[in-house]
Structure 1
Amino acid sequence: MKHLETAYKTHDGKELYLQAWMADVPKAAMLLVHGLGEHSSRYLHLVEKLNEAGVSVFTFDGRGHGKSAKVKPDAFFESADDYLKDIDALFGKVKSYSPGLPAFIYGHSMGGGLVAAYVLKYKPEAAGVVLSSPAIKEAEGTSKILIALSSMISKYFPKLKALKLDANKVSRIPEEVQKYLQDPFVYTEAIPARTGYELLQLMNYIQGNASEFNLPLLLIHGSDDGLTNPKGSELLFENAKSADKTLKIFPGGYHELINDLDRDEVMNLIVSWIEIRLA
């Protein structure tokens, strides 16, 4: 497999780190959108399986993340709409780089929420969408007062470190948690207020427009995910008007299913789901 790296200048002048792994005999292409605080190089083991199946994978480090961060990752971005514009531009590049091939989109966690919102707002022509532990619904019991305050905090203190995520909920495998914590390109501090507020608005939008989702869809989530709410995946699955939709809940699964105890089954499911739609 051939690895490519480059930079992309966004509509508002930011520079994003892009990379791609090209299949030897490509049958399809995929844009992969990573999760909150992490970066695109953490998916190499999944990419290898996709490449073996003939799927070239294009991905990027999002605003404030990984190698796209100016100094070091801070997980900060001003606007989810800007992030959606990035996804739209890069999905266009994927399609132009792989003319005539079916193009898929994969999103994990925050990336899953962004991809779901992108499909709803932009109506892209895609062969299918894979959403892994997508951020679609806030955690059960989230304080309504806190939600109401989030708008004001985001406006006046956008970079205030507001919400700390528990890294131990990433995986049931201790070594995977340690890899996550020791990766210099993973942001593990509290999430900035603006980022959190923008994601909350994004989730509200998806919940209110889920019935407009009409692309082939594979949703995967762990039943014990403590970072994104599995009920969000159930909500999208129940409301999406896609004729071709699949929901797989992994019993006991934590947040990063491709790095959890069921990872082989999870990755095989993703690859086989795509292969079936290429047949």
Structure 2
Amino acid sequence: MKHLETSYKTHDGLELYLQAWMPEQPKASVLLVHGLGEHSGRYAHLAKKLTDAGVAVFTFDGRGHGKSSKPSPTAYFERYEDYLKDIDALFGKVKNYVPGIPAFIFGHSMGGGMVAAYCIAYKPKAAGVILSAPLLKPAEGTSKGLIALASLLGRLFPKQKVMEVDANLVSRDPIEVKKYNTDPLNYHEKVTARTGHQLLRMMRFIGENTEKFDLPLLLMHGTADGLTNPDGSREFFKKLKGSDMTMKLFPDFYHELINEPEKELVMEEIVGWISSRQ
């Protein structure tokens, strides 16, 4: 397995950190999109599983995240549509770098929401999509008034820090929680008003256009996820009309499925699903 690192200049002049893990002879490829506040390096163990199965893994630190944000992560971005443009450009690079093999897209949490929105808006030629605990619906009990306030703050005070993420809800494994909390490439402060508003816009776009999602799908969510709403996944899945659609709910699992105590089971599910569609 080879590990590659490089960078990419976005349409609006940002420099994003890219990395890839390459098997000797790739049989498939996957573009991996990480979640809010984290970074692509946290998926090295999943990349190892995939490359062992002959799948080339390409990923990046999103705008405002990880090594793409200097001097430190901010988890800030102006428009979710810019994130979709980044995904589109990088998925094109993946298919050009390893042509002639099935190309998949994986998105976790916010990255899952971005991938869902991307697939609806851009209709990419992907062999399949994996959504892990995707951000598709606001948390239970979020009022319309709070959503309206987020919209106002996002416009007037975009960098005001408003929304706290409870790291204890990342995993049931305390070791994973500690690793998350001590990782300097993770963003550990409150999420800004602008980012929060853009995520609400993204979710609204997905909710209004779910029926347009028509790629083969593996949708996974933990039923005890306190960071992204499992009902969002249930409602999204019910609206889908494609024939190759699978939803897998993991009873009592928290948010980061590949960092739960049963992570081997989850990663086997991902590798098996991709392998069966090569």
TM range (shorter): over 0.9
SS in 2 for 1:162: strand
Between the aligned partners of 1:86 and 1:254, the Cα distance in structure 2 is 28
Please list every run of 5 or more consecutive structure 1 residues that lacks an aligned counterpart in the other structure: none
- 2:198 aligned residue: 198
Between the aligned partners of 2:8 and 2:172, the Cα distance in structure 1 is 35
Deviations 1:93-132, CA, capped at 9 Å, x for gaps:
0000011010000000000000000000000000000000
- 1:174 aligned residue: 174
1:20 aligns with 2:23: no
Deviations 1:130-152, CA, capped at 9 Å, x for gaps:
00000001111002211011111
TM-score (norm 1): 0.99
Deviations 1:20-72, CA, capped at 9 Å, x for gaps:
00111200011000000000000011000000111000000000000000210
1:130 aligns with 2:158: no
- 1:209 aligned residue: 209
1:229 aligns with 2:204: no
1:218 aligns with 2:218: yes
SS in 2 for 1:18: strand
Between the aligned partners of 2:192 and 2:57, the Cα distance in structure 1 is 29
Letter in 2 for 1:173: D
TM-score (norm 2): 0.99
- 2:2 aligned residue: 2
- 2:267 aligned residue: 267
Between the aligned partners of 1:241 and 1:73, the Cα distance in structure 2 is 38
Give the ranges of 4+ consecutive aligned residues of structure 1 lying more than 3 Å apart after TM superposition.
none
SS in 2 for 1:11: coil
Between the aligned partners of 2:4 and 2:150, the Cα distance in structure 1 is 40
Between the aligned partners of 2:22 and 2:145, the Cα distance in structure 1 is 48
Letter in 2 for 1:167: A
Letter in 2 for 1:175: I
- 1:164 aligned residue: 164
Between the aligned partners of 2:145 and 2:234, the Cα distance in structure 1 is 26
- 2:46 aligned residue: 46
5 Å-filtered alignment, 1:104-119, equals 104-119=104-119
SS in 1 for 2:112: helix
- 2:277 aligned residue: 277
- 1:87 aligned residue: 87
1:189 aligns with 2:189: yes
Bigger mean CA offset, 258-267 vs 121-130: 258-267
Between the aligned partners of 2:273 and 2:188, the Cα distance in structure 1 is 32
Letter in 2 for 1:190: K
Instruction: Measure how far apart 1:242 and its partner are.
Output: 1.8
Please list every run of 5 or more consecutive structure 2 residues that lacks an aligned counterpart in the other structure: none
Letter in 2 for 1:246: T
Between the aligned partners of 2:46 and 2:220, the Cα distance in structure 1 is 15
Instruction: Measure how far apart 1:229 and its partner are.
Output: 0.3
**Alignment RMSD:** 0.6
Between the aligned partners of 1:8 and 1:168, the Cα distance in structure 2 is 33
| Pairs aligned (count) | 278
Between the aligned partners of 1:155 and 1:268, the Cα distance in structure 2 is 43
Between the aligned partners of 1:257 and 1:46, the Cα distance in structure 2 is 11
